[in-house]
Structure 1
Amino acid sequence: MTQQGVRWTTDQVLALAPDAASREAAGRLATAGPWSEVGSTDGGTVWGVCRGGGGGPYRTVVDVADASGPACTCGCPSLRYPCKHALGLLLLWAGGDGAVPEGEPPAWAERWVTGRREDAEAAAGAETAETGAAETGAAGAEAAGTEAAGAEAAVGTAGDASGSVSRTRDPVAARRRAERRAERITAGATELEQRLADLLRGGLAEVEQTGYAWWEETAARMVDAQAPGLASRVRELGSTASSGPDWPVRLLEECALLHLLDQGWLRRDRLPEDLAATVRTRVGLSATADGSAVRDQWLILAQYDSVDARLTTRRVWLYGTETGRTALLLSYGAAGRAPELTLPVGLSLDAELSTYPGGGRRRAALGKRFAPPAPVEIRPKGVTPSQALARYGRALRDDPWLESVPVTLEQVVPVPDGDSWQLADVSGETALPLTPAFGNRAGLWRLVALSGGVPVQVFGECGHRGFTPLTAWPAGPGQAVSLN
Structure 2
Amino acid sequence: MSLIWTQEQIIALAPDTSSALNAQVLAVRSLWLSLGYNEQAIWGECQGSGSNPYRTQIDLTELAFKCNCPSHKTPCKHAIGLFLLFADQKDAFTEKTLPQKISLDIPKDKPDTKKVVDTVAQAKRAQMRYNKVTAGMQDLELWLRDLVRQGLAVALGQPYSFWDTAAARLVDAQASGVARMLRQIASIPHSGIGWEERLLTQLGRVYLLISGFKRLETFPAEMQADIRTQIGWTQNQEELLTSSGVRDRWLILGQRITEEDKLRSQFNWLWGEQSQQPALILNFAYGSQPLDTTLIPGTSIDAELVFFESAYPLRSLIKIHHNPADPVDKMPGFGSIQHMMTAYAKALAQNPWIEQFPVALQAVMPVFNDGNCRAVRDADGYMLSTTGLSSQQTWQLLALSGGHAVGIFGEWNGDRFLPLSVYAENVFVTLEKL
Please state which band the TM-score falls in when normalised by the shorter chain: 0.7 to 0.9
Question: What's the counterpart of residue 45 of structure 1?
Answer: 42
Question: What's the counterpart of residue 236 of structure 1?
Answer: 184
Question: What's the counterpart of residue 63 of structure 1?
Answer: 58
Q: Out of 88, 93, 98, which is 2:77 matched to?
A: 88
Cα offsets for 1:213-272 (capped at 9, x unmatched)? 232222222111111101111111223232333434322322221122122222211223
Secondary structure of the residue aligned to 1:450 is helix
**Equivalent residue letter for 1:424:** R
In 2 relative to 1, CA 411–340 (structure 1 residues): closer, same or farther, beyond 3 Å?
closer
**Equivalent residue letter for 2:359:** V
Cα offsets for 1:101-127 (capped at 9, x unmatched)? 6465999x84462x626x75xx75xx3
User: How far apart are 1:459 and its partner, in Å?
Assistant: 2.4
Q: Out of 403, 423, 433, which is 2:355 matched to?
A: 403
Q: Is 1:26–1:88's contact at 8 Å kept on the other side of the alignment? A: yes
Q: Is 2:176–2:231's contact at 8 Å kept on the other side of the alignment? A: yes
Secondary structure of the residue aligned to 2:388 is helix
Secondary structure of the residue aligned to 1:166 is coil
In 2 relative to 1, CA 381–252 (structure 1 residues): closer, same or farther, beyond 3 Å?
closer
Cα offsets for 1:126-161 (capped at 9, x unmatched)? x3x95xx6xxxxxxxxxxxxxxxxxxxxxxxxxxxx
Q: Is 1:388–1:462's contact at 8 Å kept on the other side of the alignment? A: no
Q: Is 1:50–1:60's contact at 8 Å kept on the other side of the alignment? A: no
Question: What's the counterpart of residue 261 of structure 2?
Answer: 309
CA distance in 2, matches of 1:58, 1:226: 52
RMSD: 3.6
1:370 partnered with 2:322: yes
Q: Out of 383, 391, 402, which is 1:452 matched to?
A: 402
Secondary structure of the residue aligned to 1:443 is helix
Question: What's the counterpart of residue 376 of structure 2?
Answer: 423
**Equivalent residue letter for 2:80:** L
CA distance in 2, matches of 1:58, 1:240: 54
Question: What's the counterpart of residue 206 of structure 2?
Answer: 258
User: How far apart are 1:336 and its partner, in Å?
Assistant: 4.2
CA distance in 1, matches of 2:57, 2:67: 7
Cα offsets for 1:28-54 (capped at 9, x unmatched)? 743648x965654333334546559xx
Q: Out of 313, 318, 321, which is 1:361 matched to?
A: 313
Q: Is 1:328–1:363's contact at 8 Å kept on the other side of the alignment? A: yes
Instruction: Name whichever of 381-390 and 24-33 sits farther off.
Output: 24-33
CA distance in 2, matches of 1:448, 1:350: 32
CA distance in 2, matches of 1:191, 1:179: 19
Question: What's the counterpart of residue 342 of structure 1?
Answer: 294
In 2 relative to 1, CA 361–101 (structure 1 residues): closer, same or farther, beyond 3 Å?
same
In 2 relative to 1, CA 243–205 (structure 1 residues): closer, same or farther, beyond 3 Å?
same
Cα offsets for 1:357-402 (capped at 9, x unmatched)? 1121121110111222124645424321111111111111112121
TM-score when scaled to structure 1?
Answer: 0.75
Cα offsets for 1:46-82 (capped at 9, x unmatched)? 4546559xxx9894634332x3550424353x7xxxx
Greater helix fraction, Structure 1 or Structure 2: 1
**Equivalent residue letter for 1:91:** I
Q: Out of 410, 415, 418, which is 1:465 matched to?
A: 415
Q: Out of 95, 115, 123, which is 1:175 matched to?
A: 123
In 2 relative to 1, CA 205–286 (structure 1 residues): closer, same or farther, beyond 3 Å?
same
Structure 2 residues without counterparts, runs of 5 or longer? none
CA distance in 2, matches of 1:8, 1:338: 29
Moved over 6 A (4+): none
Secondary structure of the residue aligned to 2:247 is strand
Q: Is 1:10–1:91's contact at 8 Å kept on the other side of the alignment? A: no
Q: Is 2:373–2:394's contact at 8 Å kept on the other side of the alignment? A: no
1:436 partnered with 2:431: no
Work out the percentage of aligned pairs sharing the same amino acid. 27
Q: Is 2:245–2:305's contact at 8 Å kept on the other side of the alignment? A: yes
Cα offsets for 1:443-483 (capped at 9, x unmatched)? 33333322323332222223312322223323x6x232223
**Equivalent residue letter for 1:359:** A
1:26 partnered with 2:23: no
1:74 partnered with 2:68: yes
In 2 relative to 1, CA 242–380 (structure 1 residues): closer, same or farther, beyond 3 Å?
closer
User: How far apart are 1:409 and its partner, in Å?
Assistant: 1.7
CA distance in 2, matches of 1:305, 1:366: 19
Secondary structure of the residue aligned to 2:193 is coil
- The 5 A counterparts of 1:110-189 are 110-111=100-101, 113=103, 116=105, 127=111, 130=113, 165-167=115-117, 170-189=118-137
Q: Is 1:38–1:46's contact at 8 Å kept on the other side of the alignment? A: no
Cα offsets for 1:417-455 (capped at 9, x unmatched)? 6765322223xx3322242213x3533333332232333
Secondary structure of the residue aligned to 2:205 is helix
In 2 relative to 1, CA 204–421 (structure 1 residues): closer, same or farther, beyond 3 Å?
closer
Q: Is 1:305–1:315's contact at 8 Å kept on the other side of the alignment? A: yes
User: How far apart are 1:275 and its partner, in Å?
Assistant: 1.7
Paired residues, number: 420
Q: Is 1:314–1:339's contact at 8 Å kept on the other side of the alignment? A: yes
Secondary structure of the residue aligned to 1:442 is helix
CA distance in 2, matches of 1:39, 1:260: 62
In 2 relative to 1, CA 240–8 (structure 1 residues): closer, same or farther, beyond 3 Å?
farther
1:319 partnered with 2:271: yes
User: How far apart are 1:287 and its partner, in Å?
Assistant: 1.0
Secondary structure of the residue aligned to 1:437 is coil
Secondary structure of the residue aligned to 1:30 is helix
